[in-house]
Amino acid sequence: QKARIGVTGLAVMGSNLARNLARHGFRVAVHNRSAAKTKTLVEQHGHEGDFVAAESLADFVDSLQTPRQVIIMVKAGGPTDAVIDELVELLEPGDMVVDGGNAHYADTRRREAALRERGLHFVGTGISGGEEGALNGPSIMPGGSPESYQHLGPVLEAISAKVDGQPCCTHVGPDGAGHFVKMVHNGIEYADMQLIAEAFDLLHKVAGLGAGEIAEVFRGWNSGDLESYLVEITAEVLGHVDEATGKPFVEVVADQAEQKGTGRWTVQEALELGVPVTGIAEAVFARSLSGHTEQRAAAQKVLPGPSSVPQVADRDAFVEDVRQALYASKVVAYAQGFDEIRAAADTYDWDIDLGAMATIWRGGCIIRARFLERIKDAYDTNKDLPSLLVDSYFADAVIKAQEAWRRVVVAAAAAGVPAPGFSSALSYYDALRSERLPAALIQGLRDFFGAHTYRRVDREGSFHTLWGEGRNEIDA
């Protein structure tokens, strides 16, 4: 009997995904470049389900039902291309190749086009949730053709996380749509973590709370609007005590945040699309800044903070202010991320259902959170919502939070504590709602030095002022 589906690439993600498939009753073919990993998987977990181990890629392909469905789980970039090149020689028209790695969506578009030429379906698929998710139910974001989803959908939905009985998996859109959405998911994750980190920093440095106390604060927050996986694990990490020193774990970890690149990609693509994703950008830059240890050391010697730091009169009130600032800033970051997905969908003709994206992020993935339900409702009510911030629920939430949000940004500035996420989110809120922006002056300057022309508020057309010659205005 042939296998329903196959997984090639059996490092941690691939083996866990294969086990998840087997545990759901699918007969699964498994293959890895070096056969040792295949052997280990079957030896250790063969009893969990129905595995068909293959030593060669040809045997692996041979063991699959037609049309064949192959999931590639290897290192993104060159290794993925290497596996695809080998596979296409063995597959037949109608077969499906799923790339579950963290590919750049532009690579996915290129691969999809190349495989389509050969009659094959290429399905770039975002998979979120890390190793644990791959094994027990990830959030799955498949791109590719609708036809391929008819075959793959039932399998991928079966192994995905479930929330209220609904699978955290849906067909995102054609070609690179799945990997694009996964990229933005990761960008939002960066913003979310940065905001959480700023909240911690403010509670520590401005309100004087210790890591253990802040862990309790986050534990409490996890039962309200902020309920989410990231807030839950923040309480765990802050509550952890280092065994060697007896100090809070967070005090003994080097304060340089690393990154693998998906946050940076999200910002790069936003720049190309002209979408302001300030929350994600601040988060990426804050990680970069943290790594500039020489600059930081030099600045610490030369640049002082404020001469006096105002005391927090009412700690509980400040904690509540920070909670509200965190929530409002988080809404901004998500609103910007969804704007980026919409812009890409328009550019690439992807027709992405934004509400459905919020739905499949409710479980399995790192940004899973209660408030994604609200995002789904917002787009269900109006799929052409100009911004999440103007949906009645979110507008109400940020309006209610705004005074607290302003107090927190003021307190951060007064205390000399960096809060780029909170303050840029507030600036974004203020910019969006401003009747007039100083962009008018920028247009004037551009016209002055470069004759770039401008439009007027009171009549149609394009104009230029002869700045050097009497300053008369002419039609441009």
**Hey, which residues between 353 and 412 contact ligand NBP (CB under 6 A)?**
none
Query: Judged by CB under 6 A, which of 69, 102, 108, 424 binds ligand NBP?
Result: 102
Cβ count within 10 A of residue 1: 8
CB of 37 to ligand NBP, least distance (A): 5
Task: By CB under 6 A, tell whether 74 contacts ligand NBP.
Answer: yes
Of 37, 112, 157, 189, the active-site residue reads 189
CB of 74 to ligand NBP, least distance (A): 3
**Among this protein's residues, is 189 annotated catalytic?**
yes
**Among this protein's residues, is 301 annotated catalytic?**
no
Task: By CB under 6 A, tell whether 433 contacts ligand NBP.
Answer: no
Give the per-residue contact string, 322-341, with ligand NBP (x = CB under 6 A; - = no).
--------------------
**Hey, which residues between 20 and 59 contact ligand NBP (CB under 6 A)?**
32-34, 37
Of 182, 198, 269, 330, the active-site residue reads 182
Q: Is the dihedral of CA 127, 129, 132, 135 positive or negative?
A: negative
Task: By CB under 6 A, tell whether 82 contacts ligand NBP.
Answer: yes
Query: Judged by CB under 6 A, which of 73, 277, 284, 426 binds ligand NBP?
Result: 73
- The burial class, CB within 10 Å (0-12 / 13-18 / 19+), for 407 is middle
CB of 9 to ligand NBP, least distance (A): 4
- What does the alpha-carbon distance between residue 417 and residue 306 come to, in Å, rounded to a whole number? 10
Task: By CB under 6 A, tell whether 76 contacts ligand NBP.
Answer: yes
- What does the alpha-carbon distance between residue 360 and residue 342 come to, in Å, rounded to a whole number? 16
- Residue number with the shortest CB distance to ligand NBP? 101
Q: Which stretch binds ligand NBP (CB under 6 A): 10-18, 43-51, 162-170, 186-194?
A: 10-18
Task: By CB under 6 A, tell whether 9 contacts ligand NBP.
Answer: yes
Task: By CB under 6 A, tell whether 131 contacts ligand NBP.
Answer: yes
Query: CA-based diameter of the chain, in Å?
Result: 87
Output 108 or 329, the one with its CB closest to ligand NBP. Answer: 108
Output 186 or 329, the one with its CB closest to ligand NBP. Answer: 186
Say which amino acid occupies 126.
G
Contact 80, 110 (CB under 8 A): no
CB proximity list for 117: less than 8 A, separation 6 or greater: none
CB of 358 to ligand NBP, least distance (A): 20
Query: Judged by CB under 6 A, which of 3, 6, 7, 14 binds ligand NBP?
Result: 14
Positions touching ligand NBP (CB under 6 A) are: 9-14, 32-34, 37, 73-76, 79, 82-83, 101-102, 127, 130-131
* Residues with active-site annotation: 182, 189
